Amino acid sequence: MTYNGKTILITGGTGSLGKALTKYLLTRHPDLTKLIIFSRDEQKQFQMAQEYPSSEFDQIRFFIGDVRDYERLKRAFKDVDYVIHAAAMKHVPIAEYNPDECIKTNIGGAQNVINAALETNVERIVALSTDKACAPINLYGATKLTSDKLFIAANNVAGWNPIRFSVVRYGNVMGSNGSVIPFFLKRKKEGKLPITDPTMTRFNITLDDGVKMVMHALENAWGGELFVPKIPSYSITDVAEAIGPECEKPIIGVRPGEKIHEEMITASDSFNTYDLGNYFVILPTQTKWNLDEFIKEFDAKIVEPGFYYNSGENTEWETVESLRNLITKHIDTSFKV
């Protein structure tokens, strides 16, 4: 797929993934006509503009706005070809205590993005999901599951419009804002790394791999797919050991809304889940396109009935040593134990 002459907009574009996508697009696809960073934080936009001055990157534009504001989204989407929807309230404990705010952004904002795209000439949208949307037990996960359903169902209401909506779901992004590894790196200086539960596990994906997956969906989705990567898990105790083997590691208990293990595919999803090689894809029960043609195009193989994908029962794991290497490569080049 060519990006020559195309315009891409990223909601939540000043976040960790938005910035990584920006770097990727401006490096790999300098023939882009325009890259629009849509977010509500003027300070983050100001800082990002210092990294990408218009004198060197004439494709980039910064657009202040909130996904809760439908009219602002409609204006931002004018003449946009592709949208990557990354804006969300994502901190689990904060969402538990401020549920109405989380709902307004993650559900209301998602519907606004869909409606604005249908009213303009957007061709493709990829929405970012989370492992917490699979069998959710917290409000954040429930709002993202709702968002996933809205984007997938939007393919059915598009009518004559050839727009394609798809979703990407993955686990903890290594080094993203608010994630455990940057938190532990800061707390290491105090000699104490608080652990919620010693048996806790999480899926792990680097920002680079997250970007590749979003681009894969943008370029290959037929509309209605929910893409899931095959990625390793880690144990929270291994993360603590990798960062601060000499630190105290007190057990503080699970926070509100947290799971011990995360899922990305449930056994109930297995009847619509296909293996694409590097990724799984959960398909809707009804599609606008021919399933047999999809299977042939991607050599897709349906998984066994009852298959599920759980961070605690994964077949691939990060070790203490591999975590240290990843931290040095992707988060802090000066990191030492």
Do residues 211 and 24 lie in contact, with contact meaning Cβ atoms separated by under 8 Å? yes
Q: Write out the two tokens for 296.
A: 């042939």
Residue 249 counted as domain residue: no
pLDDT in tens, 96-138: 999 999 999 999 999 999 999 999 989 999 999 999 999 999 9
The C-alpha atoms of residue 20 and residue 247 are separated, in whole angstroms, by 31
* The pLDDT of residue 161 is above 90: no
DSSP states of 28-61: H-TT-SEEEEEES-HHHHHHHHHHS-TTT-TTEE
The predicted pLDDT at position 288 comes to 87
pLDDT digits (tens, 9 = 90+) for 144-154: 999 999 999 99
Q: Report percent pLDDT > 90 for the chain.
A: 87
Confidence of residue 176 (pLDDT cuts 50, 70, 90): confident
Tell me the whole-structure pTM to 2 decimals: 0.94
User: Do the domain assignments include residue 243?
Assistant: no
Structural domains in the chain (count):
1
Residue 288 three-state SS: coil
Report whether 230 contacts 216 (CB < 8 A).
Answer: no
What pLDDT is recorded for position 172?
Answer: 86
* 277 falls within a domain: yes
Write down the pLDDT at residue 256: 81
Mean pLDDT of the chain: 95
Confidence bin at 326 (pLDDT 50/70/90): very high
Q: What angle do CA 201, 206, 209 make, to 5 degrees?
A: 120
6, 19, 90, 132: the active-site residue? 132
Give the model's pLDDT for residue 158: 75
Residue 329 lies in a domain: no
Residue 101 is assigned to a structural domain of this protein? yes
Q: Quote the Cα angle for 149-302-148, to 5°.
A: 10
Alpha-carbon span 80 to 232, nearest angstrom: 35
Q: What is the CATH number of the domain that holds 151?
A: 3.40.50.720
Q: Distance between CA atoms of 83 and 35, rounded to whole angstroms?
A: 10
**φ and ψ of 202, to 5 deg:** -145, 155
Task: Please give the share of the chain, as a percent, with pLDDT higher than 70.
Answer: 100
Structural domain contains residue 332: no
pLDDT in tens, 13-60: 999 999 999 999 999 998 999 999 999 999 999 999 999 998 999 999
Does any domain span residue 43? yes
Q: Is residue 183 part of a domain?
A: no
Condensed to tens digits (0 to 9), the pLDDT of residues 234-284 reads: 999 999 999 999 999 999 998 888 899 999 999 999 999 999 999 999 999
Residue whose C-alpha is closest to residue 90's, from 141, 152, 160, 158: 141
Q: Does the structure show a pLDDT above 90 at 175?
A: no
pLDDT of 313 reads 96
* Alpha helices, H only, the chain: 16-28, 42-51, 70-76, 92-97, 99-103, 109-119, 139-157, 180-187, 207-220, 236-243, 291-298, 320-330
Handedness of CA 315, 174, 170, 299 (dihedral sign): negative
Task: Tell me the residue range of the domain where 282 lies.
Answer: 7-171+205-230+266-308
Q: Is 19 a catalytic residue?
A: no
